[in-house]
A and B are shown apart, each in its own frame.
Chain A
Amino acid sequence: MTEPLLTIDALSIGFGAGDEPLRAVRHVGLDIAPGEIVGLVGESGSGKSLTCRSVMRLVPAGGRVLEGQVRFDGRDVLALGDGDLRSLRAKEIGMIFQDPFSSLNPVYRIGDQLMETLRVNRGMGKAQAREEAVALLERVGIPEPRRRLLAYPHELSGGMRQRVMIALATASEPRLLIADEPTTALDVTTQAQILELLLEMRERLGMAILLVSHDFGVIAQVCDRVAVMYGGHIVETGPVETLYRDPQHPYTRALLESVPELEAAARDRSEVPRAGIPGRPPELGEELPGCVFAPRCPYARPECEAVSMALVPVGTAQASACPIQPFRTTEAVTA
């Protein structure tokens, strides 16, 4: 088995100074192999955005890593010096954000912004950068790329801006792309196009992608593997199809059931589809005993209050944090 490109190991992130920080990400572990597309799914506040930002050390002010490691290509990201960190960001990891409008500088033309990263990060001369910028825009599917170089961000549609964002982030052909809710601000049709583009880029550049989203449908379209986050913990991991067909954690199951299109899958399992999960996710810093999903879990038992949130392997490829495994007995597990 190849050495993973990215390893997140027992990562915890908290807010606030002093001894009692409010924990937002708890003991999270994740691996991404080269060229693999891994999804990180969960509702707002689950800690998924923070986790993905920590890979590049872009945790917002006030937050800090409390423990754990992030290793990229064998190197300890959290211990890198400023110069090495910038080099990492410039050449090896790229990131695209949720709102394509606010991630492009409104006062510069997109051509200038593209050329800047090409000149600074890839050392190109002005003319060469311009040609490369045109090529990049073409590759992300922007029509009339030469003319578009002169456009300002507000002159482009949401979908086009996101494509420009992707071009910018992948300009130095990084080995890993972090996509933080890249389609949330787009309409469904554009969404599909952008996801298509991401798949294309993985094919062409051999780039791994960490895709963060609250939308299971998005995850299903592109990811190879998925990790489900809740209350700062990862509660389940597994290959995308297996997870969909056979979720092992009650939260994952509830999540899938709240997706209208996937109700059919629930009906196949002869269960009554629910409209939503009653209750609310834990607040930032709220410390719950045992399993954090127990208060809302329909399968909860008294012993759940003493459980740790460690992932337990289920079958050959899945892992779940629910030790009760209420579904194991009723389903046959297929690898």
Chain B
Amino acid sequence: MSAAAVTPTPAPARRRPRLGRLLLLRGQPRTVQVGATIVGALVLAAIFAPLLAPYDQNELDFSNLLAAPSPDHLFGTDDSGRDVFSRTLYGLRIDLAIVFFVTYAALPIGVVAGAVAGYFGGWVDAVISRIVDVMLAFPFIVLVIAIVAITGPGVKGVLIGVPLVGWALYARLARSEMLVMREQPFMLATTALGYSRRRAILRHAVPNLIRTSLIYSTLDLVVNLMLLASVSYLGLGAQPPNAELGSVIAQGQANLLDAWWVATLPGLVLVAFGVGVGLVGDGLSDGKLLRRGARA
């Protein structure tokens, strides 16, 4: 009984952010540009650390102990006369390498596990979900410390420990998305077309699921970096003489009041990385919300 029929206007085409456009930064909101620049600069600094560092990370200079920041030593020197700036660069190098590795090693494992759990349901889901619950019940750090207790201090402990728990987060994300996605027409079509379940999950579902996980991974990068820095602060990470951001800061604790730069400045580098990633994440999610609103 309602008003007369009307020819429907076509819905505006939905645009998804393309990776290429993302990398070019063109047309992205200001926060994304600033954030990506910061992250990019830090990543480049880390990659080119050997070229950029004015001193070797372990070069001792006993005549220059605990020197304040100066043009010669941008971040000052520590209690053994080592240049803090160089140690920060090398530390950043190790830390970023580890963090990218562990985050993006855990992601695909988690997404596939979650997709499988969500797709099959039943006992497969029950088992995987309980394992995920147990993994997530453990405070991250406690588990990593416990693993380090087994393997002994060093990078190995972190490399094993973090992905071991990290995949669980992505599994949970992917599983809940899959529960919704499996009822979508395109997924039902894969069954009607006779595709193997493996194909349906890996080729059709996962590429869609991975989007949310990738967005979350920006958060995870920061969290894992904090985790890594904390572990090395506690002395359980890379052992001396290798420099990691956390251990450099730890060394600064003894002389906190007199030589505040040793503990403070490397920390600011960590914060900068976190802020950069955070800005990118913020900017991207803002953009998405706006797009969704325009479509509705």
Binding site for B on A (CB under 8 A): 42-44, 214-217, 254-255, 258-261, 274-281, 283
Q: Which of B1-25 contact A (CB under 8 A)?
A: 1-7, 9
- In the complex, A258 Cα to B1 Cα: how many Å? 7
Interface SS of B by simple majority: loop
In the assembled complex, which residues on chain A have CB atoms less than 8 Å from the CB atom of B5? 258, 275-277
A255 touching B9, Cβ below 8 Å:
no
B1 touching A217, Cβ below 8 Å:
yes
In the assembled complex, which residues on chain B have CB atoms less than 8 Å from the CB atom of A278? 7
A39 to chain B, nearest CB (A): 14
A279 touching B1, Cβ below 8 Å:
no
A258 touching B3, Cβ below 8 Å:
yes
A214 touching B3, Cβ below 8 Å:
yes
A182 to chain B, nearest CB (A): 15
A280 touching B3, Cβ below 8 Å:
no
What are 28 A-to-B residue pairs whose CB atoms are below 8 Å? A43-B2, A43-B3, A43-B6, A44-B3, A214-B3, A215-B2, A216-B1, A217-B1, A254-B4, A255-B3, A255-B4, A258-B3, A258-B4, A258-B5, A259-B1, A260-B1, A274-B4, A275-B5, A276-B4, A276-B6, A277-B3, A277-B4, A277-B5, A279-B6, A280-B6, A280-B7, A280-B9, A281-B6
B7 to chain A, nearest CB (A): 5
In the assembled complex, which residues on chain A have CB atoms less than 8 Å from the CB atom of B4? 43, 254-255, 258, 274, 276-277
A298 to chain B, nearest CB (A): 12
In the assembled complex, which residues on chain B have CB atoms less than 8 Å from the CB atom of A261? 1
In the assembled complex, which residues on chain B have CB atoms less than 8 Å from the CB atom of A214? 2-3
- In the complex, A279 Cα to B5 Cα: how many Å? 8
Binding site for A on B (CB under 8 A): 1-7, 9
In the assembled complex, which residues on chain B have CB atoms less than 8 Å from the CB atom of A217? 1
Closest to A296 in B: B4
B1 to chain A, nearest CB (A): 5
Closest to B6 in A: A280
B7 touching A279, Cβ below 8 Å:
yes
A318 to chain B, nearest CB (A): 20
Given A42-B3, A277-B6, output 20 extra A-B contacts at Cβ < 8 Å.
A43-B2, A43-B3, A43-B4, A43-B6, A214-B3, A215-B1, A215-B2, A216-B1, A255-B4, A258-B3, A258-B5, A276-B4, A276-B5, A276-B6, A277-B4, A277-B5, A278-B7, A280-B7, A281-B6, A283-B9
B3 to chain A, nearest CB (A): 4
A328 to chain B, nearest CB (A): 23
B101 to chain A, nearest CB (A): 45
B276 to chain A, nearest CB (A): 32
A236 to chain B, nearest CB (A): 14
In the assembled complex, which residues on chain A have CB atoms less than 8 Å from the CB atom of B9? 280, 283
B68 to chain A, nearest CB (A): 52
A138 to chain B, nearest CB (A): 32
- In the complex, A185 Cα to B1 Cα: how many Å? 14
Closest to B9 in A: A280
- In the complex, A258 Cα to B6 Cα: how many Å? 12
- In the complex, A44 Cα to B9 Cα: how many Å? 14
B253 to chain A, nearest CB (A): 48
- In the complex, A58 Cα to B2 Cα: how many Å? 26
- In the complex, A185 Cα to B78 Cα: how many Å? 72
- In the complex, A3 Cα to B2 Cα: how many Å? 34
In the assembled complex, which residues on chain A have CB atoms less than 8 Å from the CB atom of B6? 43, 276-277, 279-281
In the assembled complex, which residues on chain A have CB atoms less than 8 Å from the CB atom of B3? 42-44, 214, 255, 258, 277
In the assembled complex, which residues on chain B have CB atoms less than 8 Å from the CB atom of A260? 1
- In the complex, A128 Cα to B155 Cα: how many Å? 70
Closest to A278 in B: B7
The 9 closest A-B pairs by CB, nearest first: A276-B5, A43-B3, A277-B4, A276-B4, A258-B4, A280-B6, A217-B1, A214-B2, A259-B1
- In the complex, A198 Cα to B8 Cα: how many Å? 34
In the assembled complex, which residues on chain B have CB atoms less than 8 Å from the CB atom of A259? 1
- In the complex, A279 Cα to B7 Cα: how many Å? 6
Closest to A42 in B: B3
Closest to A274 in B: B4
Closest to B5 in A: A276
A222 to chain B, nearest CB (A): 15
In the assembled complex, which residues on chain B have CB atoms less than 8 Å from the CB atom of A215? 1-2
Most A CB atoms within 10 A — which of B2, B4, B6, B9? B4
- In the complex, A283 Cα to B9 Cα: how many Å? 10
B241 to chain A, nearest CB (A): 59
B188 to chain A, nearest CB (A): 29
A173 to chain B, nearest CB (A): 32
- In the complex, A307 Cα to B112 Cα: how many Å? 65
A240 to chain B, nearest CB (A): 16
A251 to chain B, nearest CB (A): 9
In the assembled complex, which residues on chain B have CB atoms less than 8 Å from the CB atom of A279? 6-7
In the assembled complex, which residues on chain A have CB atoms less than 8 Å from the CB atom of B7? 278-280
B32 to chain A, nearest CB (A): 24
Closest to A254 in B: B4
- In the complex, A280 Cα to B6 Cα: how many Å? 5
A332 to chain B, nearest CB (A): 27
- In the complex, A259 Cα to B5 Cα: how many Å? 11
- In the complex, A261 Cα to B2 Cα: how many Å? 12
- In the complex, A278 Cα to B4 Cα: how many Å? 8
- In the complex, A261 Cα to B1 Cα: how many Å? 8
- In the complex, A42 Cα to B9 Cα: how many Å? 19
In the assembled complex, which residues on chain A have CB atoms less than 8 Å from the CB atom of B2? 43, 214-215
